[in-house]
């Protein structure tokens, strides 16, 4: 497949990068096919000595990371279908269109929605995966090629036997419902037309909306007593579930809550220098801003790198869903700050950009998320009409261009590949050097599954075969 990066991201891949993307895609297919054989419909989190030896379905069914393995499985379902020689061929710009007609469901629900895949053109009526769906049995996996079915089947099993059961237990559900359900139920509905998955995902969206505090105009984080007024930067990545629910139901309440929360995060999370707080606290009764307590970084007022990466990707997504230029400008400010900081360590992010020099802790997750977010930002800047000449001639508020975003995304992806990846298919866990939080020495420099998800998504975006699961 010939992929036109400029047509998709508004930027041109540097010479030689296409070879790396193709080779890395092949290695990802080999790695995750081997993991799938070992893991199946279990839910992995952290690999120990090359094995996912804990099944989060049993240990902690409501854990916020439990959507990432299904997300990997759904991404691989689409990618392997695109790569399979029996699948319809892609367009010259890498477009993979998966418009969901859903046959009778389209009539029942009154709408259909495209699964955007990498450089998908919303105006393009082609549906590259249409032949892989059963028009008479929405949600059936029977027409998938065997290489894709092997990934889709365990993803479906996890959703139906574990994730949906969690929604029945209020105290196990928190602000991360978007992470869980965008990558599982919403993905299933869009890719296969499974109406049960749609219902489950709308249930999750309704529960997420129910966490909204109208006085402070924020979505509450966590459930522990004393945290009734807390909100966190990670929450930005969960908002697409609400935007999706509004489009799916034609009910503006979900999107209104998402926008109000994004506005509050814009006002309280992003600092003047482009760095971000992890946690912000409000009086839950009055909504008054109280402060920014310490989170998973070094200290209050420090700069937890993964939080910065959530802000890049999250605000870029908020811009895509709303067209509000303030979110695009925020994503650009944080991106500029992040790249300046990560260049100090040659592309692999420190756990906290304001941590002491020793010990030197990394968090490769932050580099993976930021790189993926920069690809989203490149597309957003292209949509907004930002070019190198625009930035030079008009003094754009963003001062960033698609070329800048693409170049720095590649810079970080190469750093992760060269310094933090275990490509051995006989070992579980791809991205090493991941860290849960600064003051948890037992969980520093370990492989964590959601780093793998964002690395995979970024590479498949560049290849032109990534399912867009955040729309």
Q: Is 4 a catalytic residue?
A: no
Active site residue 176: yes
Cβ atoms within 10 Å, residue 313: 25
Separation between Cα atoms, residue 149 and residue 142, nearest integer Å: 8
Start-to-end Cα distance in the chain: 24
Residues 6+ apart with CB under 8 A from 305: 297, 338, 341, 342, 349, 350, 351, 352, 353, 363, 366
Tokens 């990997």 belong to 72
Distance of alpha carbon 79 from alpha carbon 36, whole angstroms: 15
Euclidean distance between CA atoms 11 and 283, whole angstroms = 44
Binding annotation: 176, 234, 306, 310
Question: What are the helix (H) ranges across 84-213?
Answer: 104-109, 146-158, 164-166, 177-182, 185-192, 195-209
Q: Can you read off the two tokens belonging to residue 254?
A: 């979900």
Can you say whether the dihedral through the CA atoms of 28, 379, 243, 464 is positive or negative? negative
Name the nearest CA neighbour of 148 among 39, 3, 21, 33: 33
CA 328, 331, 336 angle in degrees (round to 5)?
A: 125
Please give the torsion angle defined by the CA atoms of residues 178, 183, 188 and 191, in that order, rounded to the nearest 10 degrees: 120
Asked if 149 contacts 120 with a C-beta cutoff of 8 angstroms, the reply is no
- Of the residues 93, 127, 176, 372, which is catalytic? 176
- From the candidates 234, 329, 372, 468, give the one annotated as an active-site residue: 234
424's CB contacts (< 8 A; 6+ apart) are: 50
Determine the Cα–Cα distance for residues 348 and 302; give it in Å rounded to an integer: 18
Distance CA 43, CA 448 (A): 12
**Rg of the Cα atoms in the chain:** 21
Q: What Cα–Cα distance (Å) separates residue 173 from each residue in 159, 179, 203, 240, 241?
A: 15, 12, 12, 17, 15
Binding residues for substrate, as ranges, are 176, 234, 306, 310
Alpha helices in 236-363 (DSSP H): 239-249, 252-268, 305-322, 325-342
Locate tokens 């807390």: which residue?
230
Catalytic residue ranges: 176, 234
């Amino acid at each position: 497949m010939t992929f036109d990066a400029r047509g998709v991201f508004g930027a041109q891949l540097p010479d030689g990068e296409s070879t790396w993307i193709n080779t890395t895609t092949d290695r990802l297919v080999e790695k995750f096919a081997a993991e799938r054989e070992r893991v199946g419909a279990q839910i992995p989190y952290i690999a120990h000595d090359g094995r996912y030896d804990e099944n989060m379905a049993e240990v902690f069914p409501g854990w916020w990371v439990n959507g990432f393995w299904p997300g990997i499985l759904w991404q691989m379902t689409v990618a392997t279908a695109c790569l399979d020689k029996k699948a319809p061929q892609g367009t010259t710009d890498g477009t993979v269109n998966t418009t969901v007609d859903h046959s009778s469901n389209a009539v029942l629900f009154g709408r259909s929605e495209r699964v955007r895949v990498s450089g998908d053109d919303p105006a393009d009526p082609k549906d590259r995966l249409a032949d892989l769906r059963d028009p008479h049995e929405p949600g059936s996996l029977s027409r998938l090629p065997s290489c894709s079915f092997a990934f889709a089947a365990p993803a479906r099993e996890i959703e139906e036997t574990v994730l949906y059961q969690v929604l029945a237990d209020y105290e196990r559900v928190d602000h991360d419902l978007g992470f869980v359900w965008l990558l599982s139920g919403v993905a299933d509905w869009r890719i296969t037309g499974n109406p049960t998955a749609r219902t489950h995902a709308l249930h999750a969206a309704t529960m997420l909306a129910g966490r909204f505090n109208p006085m402070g105009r924020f979505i509450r984080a966590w459930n522990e007593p004393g945290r009734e007024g807390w909100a966190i930067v990670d929450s930005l990545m969960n908002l697409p579930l609400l935007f999706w629910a509004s489009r799916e139901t034609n009910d503006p309440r979900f999107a209104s809550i998402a926008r109000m929360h994004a506005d509050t995060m814009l006002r309280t999370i992003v600092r003047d220098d482009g760095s971000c707080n992890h946690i912000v606290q409000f009086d839950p009764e009055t909504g008054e801003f109280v402060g920014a307590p310490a989170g998973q970084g070094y200290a209050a007022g420090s700069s937890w790198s993964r939080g910065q990466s959530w802000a890049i990707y999250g605000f870029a997504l908020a811009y895509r869903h709303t067209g509000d230029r303030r979110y695009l400008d925020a994503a650009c400010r944080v991106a500029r700050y992040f790249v300046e900081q990560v260049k100090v360590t040659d592309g692999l992010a420190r756990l906290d950009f304001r941590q002491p020099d020793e010990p030197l802790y990394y968090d490769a997750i932050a580099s993976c998320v930021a790189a993926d977010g920069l690809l989203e930002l490149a597309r957003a800047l292209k949509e907004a009409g930002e070019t190198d000449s625009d930035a030079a001639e008009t003094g754009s508020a963003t001062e960033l261009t698609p070329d800048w975003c693409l170049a720095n995304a590649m810079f970080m992806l190469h750093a992760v590949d060269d310094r933090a990846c275990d490509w051995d298919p006989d070992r579980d866990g791809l991205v090493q050097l991941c860290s849960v939080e600064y003051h948890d020495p037992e969980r520093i420099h370990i492989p964590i599954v959601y780093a793998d998800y964002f690395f995979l998504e970024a590479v498949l975006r560049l290849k032109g075969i990534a399912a867009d699961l955040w729309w």
